[in-house]
Amino acid sequence: MEKYLHLFVLLPVLGFLFTLIVPGKNETVISKIAFFSSGVHLVCALVFVAYWLFNDHPHIDFKDFVLYQTDSHEANPYEFFIDFCFDKITAVYLLVGCVLTFLVTAYCRSYLHREAGYKRFFLTIQFFFTGYNIAIFSGNLETLFIGWEILGISSFLLIAFYRERYLPVKNAIKVFSIYRIGDVGIILAMWMTHHLFHQNITFSELSNEVLVSHHLESHSFIGIFISFMLLVSAAAKSAQLPFSSWLPRAMEGPTPSSAIFYGSLSVHIGVFLLLRTSHFWEHQTSVRIMIGVLGLSTSIIATLIARVQSSVKSQIAYSSIAQIGLIFIEVALGFDDLALIHFAGNAFLRTYQLLVSPSVVSYLIREQFYNFKPREHSIEDSLPKKIEYSIYILSLKEFNLDSLMQRLVWGPMHRAGSALNFISVKSVFVYFIPAFLLGVVALLNEEMIPQTVHQYLPSLFAIFGLFMAAKAFSERTNPKMSWILIIMNHFWIALAVSFNEHFTYAHSMLYLSGIVAGGFVGYRCLVRLSRYEKLDLNQFSGHSFEHPKIGLVFLISCLCLAGFPITPSFIGEDLIFTHIHEDQIILACIISMSFITCGLSLVKLYGRIFLGPHVKTYHDTPYKSS
């Protein structure tokens, strides 16, 4: 049965490639390819699951192929391999995903008729479904992370589908920023699992209670750290507190994408992560309490917010968040089968509600003039009036979750970048490049550096890299400078980790090869675009209208610099964390912040240059409010 698992990943890839070569105006062929590929996928899934159940539903796990492997003679050898598995969790997620993708694909064939981005929408849906299948069939964290990254970028593209509008683009950047936190959570979890088990461990090995208990006996803090990072990633992806505010903002995309992404499949991937890793943290009582408390508090707050929403899609979004909070509680209590049933029911319900929401709104607008009767009593009426009114105001303000994230995360990053205004093109060439070359010289003569100085050099150089990333994030005038600073950040990171043993020049070249290639191509795109247009980062310029090819190439370059799984930098990022020692938590946090800030800087660059209302007045300019 192992060989058939590849089919579920290849089918959406083939659909994507066939759609790619079809002219954009040929809606009939585009929709038929998507409809056929999703239909075949559904039939294959039904047949495979039936065959799997008939053969006593065995647990399937196999190592597919190795992408990268270090010298086996090293003290802590590293191996990045693709691993696939199939069990009841994968079976439920596969069937739900196939049915809903087929349903939404059939729905969109006529719903998006004559839409300007018809081909782009179906390409993104198939791209998303590829990532979804990689994630649910993954047998280790590395394979899961590939699908996780694809889900993130396809979410950004679908939220910003109406790229000529202001709000969809702005909210797409907001959502991607939250996703980036979840990405780094998984990277840090992989980092510590490498140190804990001294190998790239699979989910099947995590189910070995003896193995896990043996390693956690003397490393209980590391176990809690890994579990907490997994929880942060799951909470960010499933819109749990304090990240809940992104889900209603994601509804700016087309209604079908809202249904399949944020009502059903993508938003439940955080639950999948907890279910898949439950054997690791199920004996850690403190972690189970954290998951349960997080789910309970999210359910209460999301329910209160949903009750006062004036937008039907926002109401559905917060209702879905509340149900996912209950699923978190079920997972924490060990009711995995109940959580899977709850996931399937919530996914089907929210997809149905979102797909019929335009018709329901149209019907209720007419109905309210004749038959509307306000509710006479509600549960809040039993509370004292001051408390009732306070809860109502907080619910209207969505418990200030947006303001909280702005105050605690993005505000400090903006202020840190603004404090680095002394960094300019001149200062980069006069101070930072010579400092980098001096660091390279120190690396070449590493044996001459006193140990008391040597132990601080990795953190020092990583801080320089974080300075580059923070300045790139806050830069509003010179996109070329922002781009150069992002590239330099990666060089500083490579230099910082090179002072740890076993991180050789070959490893640095692997990591930086994708950075250099993507950086060069992206810079050429900026240079070419600047010949025709004035580049300004203070507003959204919408240059993809007149320069779509440059926009596409620049997007691919941004993905290269962000460590997306199309370049060796994706493996390089994981390899870097593998060579950070388990006692170098400060270094790991600094590099994590650099990756978060770089990802946000890249998506801001792409969004402000190529998306949004066009700066030229002869293009139609929609209102800011959608």
3 state SS for 243-255: CCCHHHHHHHCCH
Structure tokens at 577: 């964390």
Q: pLDDT value at position 626?
A: 46
For 513, counting Cβ atoms within 10 Å of its Cβ (0-12 exposed, 13-18 middle, 19+ buried), the class is middle
Distance between CA atoms of residues 463 and 161, nearest Å: 36
Between the alpha carbon of residue 336 and those of residues 188, 202, 328, 561, the distances in Å are 25, 20, 10, 38
Token pair 């089907």: residue: 348
Task: Report whether 482 contacts 601 (CB < 8 A).
Answer: yes
**In terms of DSSP H, where are the helices of 372-432?**
385-396, 401-405, 411-418, 425-427
Q: What's the chain's length in residues?
A: 626
What residue segments make up the domains of the chain, in order of their start?
2-366, 419-610
Distance between first and last Cα of the chain: 48
Q: What is the DSSP string of 66-112?
A: EEEE--TTSSS--EEEEEEEESHHHHHHHHHHHHHHHHHHHHHHHHT
Q: What is the DSSP letter of 140?
A: B
**What's the maximum distance between 2 C-alpha atoms anywhere in the chain?**
86
- Count CB atoms within 10 A of the CB of residue 157: 22
For 449, counting Cβ atoms within 10 Å of its Cβ (0-12 exposed, 13-18 middle, 19+ buried), the class is middle
Question: pLDDT, tens digit, for every residue of 34-46?
Answer: 899 999 999 999 9
Helix (H, G, I), strand (E, B) or coil at 42: helix
Low-confidence ranges of the chain (pLDDT < 50): 625-626
Angle at 334 between CA 330 and CA 338, to 5 degrees: 50
Residue 137: which H helix or E strand, with range?
helix 118-137
Between the alpha carbon of residue 308 and those of residues 63, 156, 361, the distances in Å are 50, 27, 16
Question: pLDDT, tens digit, for every residue of 432-453?
Answer: 888 888 888 888 887 888 888 8
Distance between CA atoms of residues 141 and 68, nearest Å: 15
Question: Would you call the peptide bond into 242 cis, given omega within 30 degrees of 0 as the criterion?
Answer: yes
Task: Report whether 528 contacts 486 (CB < 8 A).
Answer: no
Angle at 522 between CA 517 and CA 525, to 5 degrees: 135
Residue 359: which H helix or E strand, with range?
helix 336-371
Helix (H, G, I), strand (E, B) or coil at 572: helix
Task: Report whether 292 contacts 328 (CB < 8 A).
Answer: yes
Helix (H, G, I), strand (E, B) or coil at 369: helix
pTM reported for the whole predicted model: 0.91
Distance between CA atoms of residues 308 and 68, nearest Å: 52
Q: pLDDT value at position 621?
A: 65
Q: pLDDT value at position 371?
A: 64
Task: Report whether 172 contacts 607 (CB < 8 A).
Answer: yes
Angle at 201 between CA 198 and CA 207, to 5 degrees: 120
Q: Which of 573, 605, 587 is nearest to 183 (CA)?
A: 573
Token pair 């400092």: residue: 435
Q: Which of 535, 549, 552, 546 is nearest to 483 (CA)?
A: 535
Q: pLDDT value at position 74?
A: 58
Angle at 541 between CA 537 and CA 542, to 5 degrees: 140
